[in-house]
Amino acid sequence: MNRITIRGGTDQPTINRHIYGHFAEHLGRCIYDGIWVGEDSPIPNTRGIRNDVVAALRRIRVPNLRWPGGCFADDYHWKDGIGPKAQRPRTINMWGKVVENNHFGTHEFLDLCDQLGCEPYICGNVGSGTVQEMEQWIEYLTADGDSTMANLRRQNGRDAPWKIPFWGVGNENWGCGGHMTPEYYADLYCQYQTYLREYGGNRLMKIAGGYGGSDNDGSGLDAFMRHITNRRHRVRTDGVSLHYYVYLRHAQEHSATEFGEAEWFTVLNMAAQIEQAIAQHAAVLDRYDPEKRIWLIVDEWGTWYPAEPGTHPDFLYQQNSLRDAVVAALTLHLFHAACDRVRMANIAQTVNVLQAMILTQGEQMILTPTYHVFDMFKGHQDATRLAFDLECEAYTSGDKSLPAISASASQNAEGTILLTLCNLYPSQDVTLDCELRDLAVSGVTGSILTADEITAHNTFDQPDRVQPVPFTGAAIVDQQRLHIELPAKSVVALTLT
C-alpha cells in the first residue's frame, strides 16, 4: 500500500527558485557551439548568442547561471575576455588543451543573463589569480564613479554598472583549484573576501568553495568553518558550496544509454545518497550558524558518465536518458526536503556537457529528458513547500533498497498545489493514495514523462522520443483524496486546484 498525506499550513519554508540554477563552463562545447556562435554565424543569434538555446532556457525559467567554471574559473583571467574581440589573447583552455579565443567574456556572459532574464553567479579565480585581479573585476562590473576600472567598462561599451548578486571565491580549491587544505583555503578565503567590495548598493553574496567532492562527509567544511570563525573580526560567508556528482567517469562498464536494470538502480541509488551529503554538511553549518543565514549551495550536481564514444574525453559530452530525468526529479525533491538550508543549486551543465538540458549539432538543437523535468517542476520555484508523509514500498536490488516513490509538493501564492512524483521501478506500475489535510482539491491536471525503455533518449533524428504528455492517471475521489496510478519509470507533475 502506497500512501501520501499532504498537509496544508504556513509553517514550511519557501523553495528558493535559485535551487533551479544552471552552470555553463568554458568546457568542451558548452559555451562555444552550445551558446556562443558569434555574430557572423549562419545560426540565428542575437549578438553572437544562439536564439534557439535562449528561447528554450527561457521556457524553464532559469533563475541564475554560474560561470565561467568549474576548474576553468581558477585558470581564467577576466581581462583576456574584454575589449575588441580581434585583440583578445588566444589562451589554452585546461579542458582538452584547446585554444580559447576569449570571444565569450564578461560582457557576453552578462548579455546572455539579460537575454535569459536570470541572475549572474560569477566564480572568481583563487587558484592562479590574485586578490587585485578579483578586486578589479568587481570594480569593473559594479562600480559607478570615475574610476579606472569603471571607465574601462564604459570604453568597452557598457555605461551602467551591472548588479552581480552571487560571487564564488574559487572553485574546488581542494582539487583542480590549487590542491589546498581546508585551513589554507580558509586563510585565502578570508583574504580574498575582504576585497569583494560592494559598490553603489550592489549586495554581493560571498560564496566559499566547499571542501571535498561526492565522497565528502562534511569534515572539510567543519575545518574550514572552524578556521574562519577564529578571527579577530567576523568574516562574512553568505554561502558555501557543495559538489555532488553521480561520478562514473572512469567506470567504462557504465554508459549513458546502454544499460540494464542493475545500472539503472546503481545510478538512482548513487543520486539518492546526496541526501546524506546534504545532511552532513547541513549539520556542520547548524553548529556554526544555527540561525541558518548561510546558504548551502550545491553549485555542481548531476550524472557524469564516460564520454560519448567518438568524442574528446575531456569535453564531457554525454547523452541523457530517461534515467537522467529520474535522477533530476529525485535530486530536486531532495533539495526541496532540505530547502531551509539548500537555497541554491546548479546542475552541471547547461549545454553539451554532462547532464545537459540541451544538446546541439550545428544548427540543430534537442531538449533532453532532464530539460523536461526542469520544465515540469518550474512551478515549485519560490512556492511554499508543503509537508507530507509518504509510506511506500521499497525498491530493492541486491542488498540495497530505495523508496519506490519519490515525491514533493508545494503551494504557490495563488493557492495552486504542484505535486511531483516519480516511480523509480524500471518495470512495475504503482498505485498511490493521496490524502490532503487542511487542503481541498476540485480539479487536477497533469503531465507525465516516461518511455517504452529505461534507456530511451532523444537524438537529432528522433528529438521527441522522450517528452512530457498529458497524464490521465490521477482521479479525484473526494475533496480530500486522490487516486493516482503511476506507471513504471515515470516522472509525473500534477497541478491541483
Per CB under 6 A, residues contacting ligand AHR are 25, 69-71, 171-172, 300, 348-349, 354
Cβ-contact 309, 340 below 8 angstroms: no
DSSP for 119-148 reads EEEEEE--SS--HHHHHHHHHHHH--SS-H
Distance between CA atoms of 104 and 112, rounded to whole angstroms? 10
Cell of 213: 567532492
Compute φ and ψ for 236, nearest 5 degrees: -85, 130
The distance of closest approach from Cβ of residue 172 to ligand AHR in the complex, given in angstroms and rounded to an integer, is: 5
**Amino acid sitting at position 487:** P
Angle made by CA atoms 147, 148, 154, in degrees to the nearest 5? 90
Distance between CA atoms of 216 and 223, rounded to whole angstroms? 13
The yes-or-no answer on residue 119 being catalytic is: no
Strand partners, 207: 168, 239
The yes-or-no answer on residue 300 being catalytic is: yes
Question: Before 68, cis peptide (omega within 30)?
Answer: yes
**Amino acid sitting at position 297:** I
Instruction: Pick the closer one to ligand AHR by CB: 25 or 139.
Output: 25
Instruction: Pick the closer one to ligand AHR by CB: 321 or 349.
Output: 349
Nearest C-alpha neighbor of 411 from the set 104, 117, 6: 6
Cell of 417: 498545489
The distance of closest approach from Cβ of residue 76 to ligand AHR in the complex, given in angstroms and rounded to an integer, is: 11
Instruction: Give the list of residues 6+ apart from residue 383 with CB closer than 8 angstroms, or none.
Output: 14, 15, 410, 411, 412, 413, 418
The distance of closest approach from Cβ of residue 70 to ligand AHR in the complex, given in angstroms and rounded to an integer, is: 3
Using DSSP bridges, classify how beta strands 239-247 and 205-208 pair: parallel, antiparallel or unpaired: parallel
Instruction: Pick the closer one to ligand AHR by CB: 75 or 263.
Output: 75
| Residues, the chain | 497
Of 100, 108, 139, 300, catalytic: 300
**CA atoms 398, 321, 390, 273: torsion sign:** positive
Instruction: Pick the closer one to ligand AHR by CB: 4 or 347.
Output: 347
Of 135, 172, 198, 263, catalytic: 172
Which CB contacts under 8 angstroms, 24+ apart, belong to 211-217? 211/174, 211/182, 211/185, 212/174, 213/172, 213/175, 213/243, 213/244, 213/245, 213/247, 214/243, 214/244, 214/245, 214/246, 214/247, 214/273, 214/277, 216/242, 216/277, 216/280, 217/277, 217/280
User: Which residue of this chain has its Cβ atom nearest to ligand AHR in the complex?
Assistant: 70
The distance of closest approach from Cβ of residue 261 to ligand AHR in the complex, given in angstroms and rounded to an integer, is: 28
Could you give the residue numbers annotated as active site? Answer: 172, 300
